[in-house]
Structure 1
Amino acid sequence: MNRTHLVLLLSVIGLTGCARRAANTNTADAAVHPPAPSVSDRGNAARPAPDDTEQALAALNAAPIYFPLDSSVLPSEATDELARIAQALRQRSLAKVTVAGHTCELGTTEYNIALGQRRAASVRAYLVNLGVEPARISVISYGEERPADANAPEKNRRAEFSFRLAEQARAGEL
C-alpha cells in the first residue's frame, strides 16, 4: 500500500467517525440519505459481484492505436478513441489498463523494444493528460515479438490495451 492510499484510508476513517447521525432521524431524511452500510456489508460492497466484474471489463474495450513507421507520435485519428477510453476509466475507479507497445520487424531488437516503449508511453501520457490517474496505467513493450499480422507490417506498429480491475490485479487473476 503506498502512502497516498494510506493517507486516503486514514482520512476516510477519520471522517466516518465525524459523520455519524443522531438516532432520531425522520423517515424523509432517511430516504434522502440512506444509512451507511454496516461493518459486515462493507466487505461485500467493496468487491463487485462476478457479473459486475464482467460488465465493467466488457465496457472497457479498445481498438489498437496504429503508428506510422519509426514514430511514437500519436496519430490525430487516435484522439477520439483515447478520449473514450479515458472517460470509461474515469467512470470505473477499480479499472486499470496496461498499454503494450509493438513494432514491425524492421530495426534491431533493442531499437524496437525502445520504440514500443515510447509508443506505450505516449499513449499513457495522453490518458494522464485526460485525467486518468497515472498509477492506473502501466506500460510494456513487446517490440517486434508479438506481431498482429506477419504479412502486414503496418498492423504491427501499434499500442494495444488490456483492462483489469484493481482487485483482479492484486489477486493475480488477470
Structure 2
Amino acid sequence: MIRTYSKFLTLLVAMGVMAGCSSTATQDEGYGSDVSAVDQEGGSEVYGGEGSDGVSSSTMTDDERAAQAEQSAQREQASMRKVTTFYFDFDTSEIKPEARDVLIAHAQYLSNNPSARARLEGHGDERGTKEYNLALGERRAKSVERFLVVNGASRDQIETISYGEEKPATMGSGESAYAQNRRVELIYQ
C-alpha cells in the first residue's frame, strides 16, 4: 500500500512539474522579445514586433532584391580591391590563380572609373643580376597590366615601372624573404 501510494505521489509530482514548465502564452502576450523569426505569410523578417518597421523578404520587390544584390557585390569588390600586392613564383611573371579574382575586381573598378589611374611597380628578389631583375620586374608589371586590360581596364589608365631588386619589401636572404620581394604592387594615383 505504501509502495503504491509512493508511486502515485511521484507520478503526481512529475505531472505538476511538467504542467508548471509548459506555457500557454499567446503571440499577443509575447515573451518580452521584439524579434519575430518568421511572419505568417512565410517570408522571413529581419526585425519585428509591435509597431515594427522591419524588413520582410516577402515584401521586397524584385528591383529591391536586385539593388541589394548589386550593393553586396560592390562591397565585395571594394573589399577585394584592398589587396594591392601580387606575388610571383621564382623566375616567372605568371599571375597566380589566387590573384585573378582580385585583379578582376581592380579591372572592373578601372573600367567603371575612366578617370582613375594606377601604377604597377614590378619587383624581384636579390638573386640574379640587377639588369636581369629589372627586366623580370618589368615583365611582371606588364603581365598584370595585360590581365587588367583584358578584363576591362584601359591601357591609358595604367603605368608600369620596374624596381628590380632595389626596393625589397623584406630584408634577408631566405626563401621567405625572397617570396615577399617577388611582387607587383598596384598603386592608385
TM-score range, shorter chain: 0.5 to 0.7
Per-residue deviation, residues 57-108 of structure 1 (Å, max 9, x unmatched): xx96433110000000111111011011111112222101010000000000
Decide which structure has greater helix share.
1
Q: Which runs of 5+ in 2 are unaligned?
A: 1-79
Q: Which residue of 2 aligns with 1:110?
A: 131
Q: Which residue of 1 aligns with 2:185?
A: 160
TM-score (norm 2): 0.54
Is the Cα–Cα contact under 8 Å of residues 81 and 102 in structure 2 kept in the other structure?
A: no
Q: CA RMSD in A?
A: 1.7
Say which structure, 1 or 2, has more relative contact order (CA 8 Å, 6+ apart): 1
Q: Which residue of 1 aligns with 2:28?
A: none
The match for 2:171 among 150, 154, 158 is 150
- 1:13-162 matches, within 5 Å, as 61-151=82-172, 152-162=177-187
Larger radius of gyration between Structure 1 and Structure 2: 2
The DSSP-based 3-state class of the residue aligned with 1:145 is coil
Q: More displaced, 76-85 or 112-121? A: 76-85
Which stretches of structure 1, 4 residues or longer, exceed 4 Å deviation after superposition?
A: none
User: In structure 2, what residue type is equivalent to 1:146?
Assistant: K
Per-residue deviation, residues 3-49 of structure 1 (Å, max 9, x unmatched): xxxxxxxxxxxxxxxxxxxxxxxxxxxxxxxxxxxxxxxxxxxxxxx
Distance (Å, rounded) in 2 between the aligned partners of 1:100 and 1:61: 16
Aligned residues: 107
Per-residue deviation, residues 103-133 of structure 1 (Å, max 9, x unmatched): 0000000000000000000000000000111
Work out the percentage of aligned pairs sharing the same amino acid.
42
